[in-house]
């Protein structure tokens, strides 16, 4: 069931009540939930359970971090259908008309809402996004883009052509990715015609042994091509030249993130703005904090890790991973960060129950759930850490491993004795015999 609760600063907050179900595996229709701390407040985010683009995951994480939607604390998994239900309800609530009188804007809003409701159930397999190379927010408009507009979420990308590269910029600035692919296909076709014409000219010049025969064959070829409706040799040469420039740009930006695109993102994204970043057919939740860009780590491998953010500061993938406080990853802080997230979640749960909305039995059950969650985190951390060095062995083993003089000295200190070394030697020998 979905319940609604208003909160100052937001249109509404949707809370979905989910049963505490332990699903056996992570699939493309079930998403694991992770507790993190976001600027001192407890938040729940969704993890990518299986390979796939899943733009709905990035959208929901932005809404969860904004605290515009919430998931009950005792839920460990949530299904795709439940996410669609939450987002659909939030879309209606945040885009309600300002009156009963019809207007052109109201009609457009209803049409966009209807389109979004048709699109949301298909977001687990991908989204039709066609970026343009002229800017970090330039996309070809499609019906799917209305989802981001109605949710007030900006979609970014970093595949931007440099203005300093005049040839590439003049060709690519106003083109989308699909149009670029068409240009490359046209280049391959033009190269094929050029090779065919070259193969036809070579035998003709070889048989006559004179340049006049080759010139006659070259003069005869264009009219035949024009008659068939094929492009001229000059057109093919231009298409090939432009195609090579485009191909060179794509080869230099194979990661779909250029240096100019990274600079453009730093300029256009506002401080503490949450958005969705598109790259390599994948969608990530993105945040700008203290001048740096961060991507939310939603891979299932981070389920029990203190790592929360990936700093987006390189185009070749050599990036840094950070914790909830945006500090670079340190394995020693793993347990502390996990316990801090669990404690923050527990504090939020108790604060929400202070108003009397939960009964005593439910409080006890939820406390048990949180206790089990903390124990799981501690066990996971202990399993990943190397074994601690063995404690100092008992006195007999020490006497056996160390020289006799050192053994006598340590034994004397432990017993509080200052004399009678012969008695201690005898005692040590007896203890050594017992060990053997």
CA dist 159 → 12, 140, 253 (Å) = 35, 14, 8
Of 53, 72, 74, 54, nearest to 64 (Cα)? 72
Q: Which pLDDT does position 290 carry in this prediction?
A: 96
Sequence-distant (6+) residues with CB within 8 A of 271 are 288, 289, 290, 291
Sign of the four-CA dihedral 137, 140, 141, 147 = negative
DSSP output for 139-207 = B---TTHHHHHHTT--EEEB----SSSHHHHHHHTT-BHHHHHHHHHHHHHHHHHHHHHHHHHHHHHHH
User: What gap in Å lies between CA 197 and CA 172, rounded to an integer?
Assistant: 30
Check the CA dihedral 178-179-185-191 and report its sign: negative
Give residue 338's pLDDT: 56
Nearest to 324 by CA among 333, 313, 315: 333
**Integer distance in angstroms from the first to the last C-alpha of the chain?**
70
Q: Which pLDDT does position 128 carry in this prediction?
A: 82
CA distance 349 to 72: 9
CB 198 within 8 Å of CB 233: no
- Determine contact, residues 247/183, Cβ cutoff 8 Å: no
pLDDT value for 228: 54
Pull the structure tokens for residue 69: 């939607």
Q: Residue 48 forms beta bridges with which residues?
A: 299
The length of the chain, given as a count of residues: 436
What pLDDT was estimated at residue 115? 83
Residues of the chain with pLDDT under 70: 1-28, 50-53, 97-105, 202-229, 330-371, 373-374, 377, 380-381, 384-436
- How many of the other CB atoms lie within 10 Å of CB of 426? 11
Q: Give the pLDDT of residue 419.
A: 46
């Amino acid at each position: 069931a979905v319940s609604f609760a208003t909160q100052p600063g937001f249109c509404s907050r949707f809370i979905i009540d989910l049963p505490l179900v332990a699903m056996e595996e992570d699939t493309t229709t079930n998403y694991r939930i992770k507790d993190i701390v976001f600027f001192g407040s407890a938040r729940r985010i969704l993890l990518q359970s299986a390979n796939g683009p899943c733009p709905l995951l990035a959208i929901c994480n932005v809404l969860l971090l904004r605290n515009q939607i919430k998931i009950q604390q005792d839920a460990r998994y949530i299904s795709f259908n439940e996410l669609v239900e939450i987002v659909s309800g939030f879309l209606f609530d945040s885009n309600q008309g300002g009156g009963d009188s019809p207007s052109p804007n109201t009609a457009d809003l209803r049409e966009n809402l209807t389109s979004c409701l048709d699109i949301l159930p298909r977001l687990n397999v991908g989204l039709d996004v066609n970026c343009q190379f002229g800017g970090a927010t330039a996309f070809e408009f499609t019906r799917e883009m209305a989802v981001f507009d109605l949710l007030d979420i900006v979609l970014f990308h970093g595949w931007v052509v440099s203005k300093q590269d005049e040839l590439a910029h003049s060709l690519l600035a106003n083109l989308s990715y699909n149009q670029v692919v068409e240009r490359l296909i046209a280049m391959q076709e033009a190269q094929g015609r050029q090779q065919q014409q070259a193969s036809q000219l070579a035998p003709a010049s070889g048989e006559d042994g004179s340049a006049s025969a080759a010139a006659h064959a070259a003069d005869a070829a264009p009219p035949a091509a024009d008659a068939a409706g094929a492009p001229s040799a000059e057109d093919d040469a231009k298409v090939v030249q432009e195609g090579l420039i485009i191909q060179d740009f794509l080869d230099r930006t194979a990661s779909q993130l250029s240096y100019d695109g990274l600079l453009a993102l730093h300029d256009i994204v506002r401080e503490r703005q949450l958005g969705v970043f598109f790259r390599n057919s994948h969608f990530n939740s993105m945040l700008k904090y203290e001048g740096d860009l961060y991507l939310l780590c939603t891979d299932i491998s981070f389920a029990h890790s203190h790592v929360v953010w990936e700093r987006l500061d390189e185009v070749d993938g050599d990036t840094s991973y950070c914790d909830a406080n945006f500090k670079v990853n340190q394995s020693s802080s793993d347990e502390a960060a996990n316990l801090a997230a669990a404690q923050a979640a527990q504090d939020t749960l108790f604060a929400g129950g202070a108003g009397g909305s939960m009964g005593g039995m439910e409080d006890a059950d939820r406390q048990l759930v949180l206790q089990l969650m903390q124990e799981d985190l501690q066990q996971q951390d202990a399993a990943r850490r190397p074994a601690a060095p063995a404690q100092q062995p008992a006195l007999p083993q020490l006497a056996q491993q160390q020289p006799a003089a050192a053994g006598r000295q340590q034994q004397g200190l432990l017993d509080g004795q200052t004399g009678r070394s012969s008695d201690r030697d005898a005692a040590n020998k007896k203890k050594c015999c017992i060990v053997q």
